[in-house]
Amino acid sequence: MTLLVDTPTAGLPQIQRAALYVLRDTLNIALGEIETAWAASDEEFANDFDREYTPIVLERVALIDFHEGFRPSLIRSPKERIPNVSVMCYRATPGAASALNDHMDIYNVPLVIETMLKASAAEGEEILERRAHRMVEAIMACMSRNQTLGGIVSGLSTNPTSNLTEMFPRKDSGKGNTRTAYGQEWLWQGGRIEYTVRKEAATPSHGSAFRSVQHDDLGIDQV
């Protein structure tokens, strides 16, 4: 694990990729923890409001459904590809401490994590909203436990912004086509969390300014 100090750039692609590996390795575990933690409260809530108790199953994210960078096409994903997660870094701004440091540039890098959730029409809006809230909680738990993204950055904000989108219905023909007017109706809802990552940059004293990025540099274990 090596801080990305010896690269004279903002490190956007490295940060983006490291965050995606953090979620790949920890998100489904966190979803299981949150699923268990909420079970008793959900049952108590159902009893208090005279409703039928339905355990909330949090669908795990398949390996193929972790994405790097902007992915506007995910809004058209078939139900088999939801839930999904995408991670993106799109800009860097000079940190306030840069002006005080003669030997190093300090960048603030927004790190955005987006997710899409689903529920069948039979499950309903309440189930979907709970899944969306809990997916965001799980993502935030993963990032709070990995604030250096495997040791490559100094840290990230502990008070990120987060929000859920409005729900919207889609019909699915069963053939991966969510644009058809026929088929079973599903409900979709998205979530978005934005962090600020601190990244230092200094020009290397010798050799290439762009060393190769290995999995070890990102604190990643092979799977």
Of the candidates 198, 14, 201, the one whose C-alpha atom is nearest the C-alpha of residue 110 is 198
DSSP 31-51: HHHHHHHHHHHHHHHHHHTT-
* pTM > 0.85: yes or no: no
Of the candidates 192, 198, 72, the one whose C-alpha atom is nearest the C-alpha of residue 139 is 192
Q: Bigger pLDDT: 193 or 217?
A: 193
What Å distances lie between residue 64 and 41, 47, 176, CA to CA? 32, 38, 15
2-17: per-residue pLDDT in tens?
455 545 566 889 999 9
The owner of tokens 């870094």 is 89
How far from chain centre, in Å, is Cα 89? 12
**Residue 89, helix vs strand vs coil:** strand
Query: DSSP secondary-structure letter at 121?
Result: T
What Å distances lie between residue 87 and 14, 18, 71, 161, 215, CA to CA? 11, 10, 9, 15, 17
82-86, 100-104, 198-202: least confidently modelled range: 100-104
Residue 213 pLDDT greater than 90, yes or no? no
The owner of tokens 């495997």 is 150
Q: How confident is the model at residue 29 (pLDDT cuts 50, 70, 90)?
A: very high
What pLDDT score does 215 carry?
Answer: 53
117-157: per-residue pLDDT in tens?
999 999 999 999 999 999 999 999 999 999 999 888 888 88
